[in-house]
Amino acid sequence: MKVAIVGASGAVGQEFLRVLDERNFPVDELLLFGSTRSAGRKYTFRGKEIEVKLLQHNDDFKGVDIAFTSAGAGTSKEFADTITKYGAVMIDNSSAFRMDNDIPLVVPEVNAADALNRPRGIIANPNCTTIQMVVALKAIENLTHIKRVHVATYQAASGAGAAAMDELYEQYRQVLAGEPVKVEKFAYQLAFNLIPQIDVFTDNGYTKEEMKMYNETRKIMHSDVKVSATCVRVPALRSHSESIWIETERPVSVEEAREAFAHGEGLVLMDNPEKKEYPMPLFLAGKDPVYVGRIRKDLSNENGLTFWIVGDQIKKGAALNAVQIAEYLIKVKNIG
């Protein structure tokens, strides 16, 4: 495969380099792209140094089989034609095309086959919080239809990119040194704080991030499920956590749910309250699966169940999910 990574210097781009290597992805040639900020920089992949090229409107994507793009929605929109015009499949991590009718939005554990129908040569990777949530929801949806979801997210600093992670480190240092705190990437100081806003507000009072969870979940699961989300930025570095309440068509017992999560694709059950065992972001950074714990009946709703999930949002929430889509296309001989 001739593979390209657009946004190679970023948090997700760097994760692509690790994931492709880790999973032995069949890469014959790898091209890296960035803006003028990182063009000329070199990254090592499988022992070979590769120089980042400047992303331009030219023929650089001729012969490319798969382009993993993670350089923001504006860049994806501007360069989609350049990237796909010679037949490359573009697997896009940005929000640019996710809700377009002619672009599949794919989480392989849930709707892999949707990736086969891509009239524009583009497959969208969902929002990170949605990816990890639908992997967990699928295990229950297999038992009985989920009608309603309430979710509160606890999203790590790195969800806003590599520079945001650096800012959090720096803010902790500044606070502890008694220096003034610099705020650039977030609306407020994140160190020693929580910020109940991710992305901008929409007309209904929900943020765009919260509405992504509503709309994308329905599209991926082909479901009429209603999702009400509150998305919060927390001063964790990596891995998003989510507290989820679901209402199902018929009641699901805790034992049944535990069994479903234990065997669910892409899931690991970590639910042993007596031993204080439950998923936590600090300990799950860099892991592939979505971890599920704290499974309980909802005390306010006969058909309700509540649980807690943690997933590495740069990995399963971005790079890994995209690579799994590509692996699926290779497996069913739909590419290459």
Question: Is 257 near ligand NAP (CB under 6 A)?
Answer: no
> What is the Cα–Cα distance from 41 to 158, expressed in whole angstroms?
22
How do strand 66-69 and strand 267-269 relate by DSSP bridges?
A: unpaired
Q: What does each C-alpha distance from 86 to 69, 294, 336 come to in angstroms?
A: 16, 48, 13
Between 12 and 227, name the residue whose CB sits nearer to ligand NAP. Answer: 12
The CB-of-8 to ligand NAP minimum distance in angstroms stands at 6
Say if residue 159 carries a ligand binding annotation.
Answer: yes
Between 67 and 292, name the residue whose CB sits nearer to ligand NAP. Answer: 67
Determine how many CB atoms are found less than 10 A away from the CB of residue 96.
20
User: What is the amino acid identity at position 67?
Assistant: A
> What is the Cα–Cα distance from 321 to 131, expressed in whole angstroms?
8
Between 103 and 252, name the residue whose CB sits nearer to ligand NAP. Answer: 103
User: What is the amino acid identity at position 258?
Assistant: R
User: Interaction with ligand NAP in 290-329: which residues (CB under 6 A)?
Assistant: 313-314, 317-318
User: What is the amino acid identity at position 10?
Assistant: G
Say if residue 158 carries a ligand binding annotation.
Answer: yes
Query: Burial level of 25, CB count in 10 A (0-12/13-18/19+)?
Result: middle
Say if residue 67 carries a ligand binding annotation.
Answer: no
Question: Is 130 near ligand NAP (CB under 6 A)?
Answer: no
Say if residue 233 carries a ligand binding annotation.
Answer: yes
Known catalytic residues are 128, 240
CA angle centred on 263, ends 257 and 224, rounded to 5°? 60
Question: Is 207 near ligand NAP (CB under 6 A)?
Answer: no
Question: Is 94 near ligand NAP (CB under 6 A)?
Answer: yes
Question: Is 161 near ligand NAP (CB under 6 A)?
Answer: yes
User: Interaction with ligand NAP in 5-64: which residues (CB under 6 A)?
Assistant: 7-13, 33-35, 37-38, 55
> What is the Cα–Cα distance from 273 to 325, expressed in whole angstroms?
35
Between 91 and 260, name the residue whose CB sits nearer to ligand NAP. Answer: 91
Which residue is it, tokens 């892991």? 287
Find the residue with minimal CB distance to ligand NAP.
10
Question: Is 129 near ligand NAP (CB under 6 A)?
Answer: no
Stretch that binds ligand NAP, among 154-162, 226-234, 279-287, 299-307 (CB under 6 A): 154-162
The CB-of-93 to ligand NAP minimum distance in angstroms stands at 4
Between 246 and 318, name the residue whose CB sits nearer to ligand NAP. Answer: 318
> What is the Cα–Cα distance from 26 to 46, expressed in whole angstroms?
12
Question: Is 135 near ligand NAP (CB under 6 A)?
Answer: no
Say if residue 10 carries a ligand binding annotation.
Answer: yes
Helices assigned H by DSSP within the chain: 11-22, 73-84, 108-111, 128-141, 162-176, 208-221, 254-263, 281-284, 320-331
Cβ–Cβ under 8 Å, residues 247 and 303: yes
Binding residues: 9-12, 37-38, 98, 155, 158-159, 180, 233, 313
Residues that constitute the known binding site for phosphate? 98
Task: Write out the binding residues for NADP(+).
Answer: 9-12, 37-38, 158-159, 180, 313
Footprint on this chain of ligand NAP (rule: CB under 6 A): 7-13, 33-35, 37-38, 55, 70-73, 75, 93-94, 128, 158-159, 161-163, 313-314, 317-318
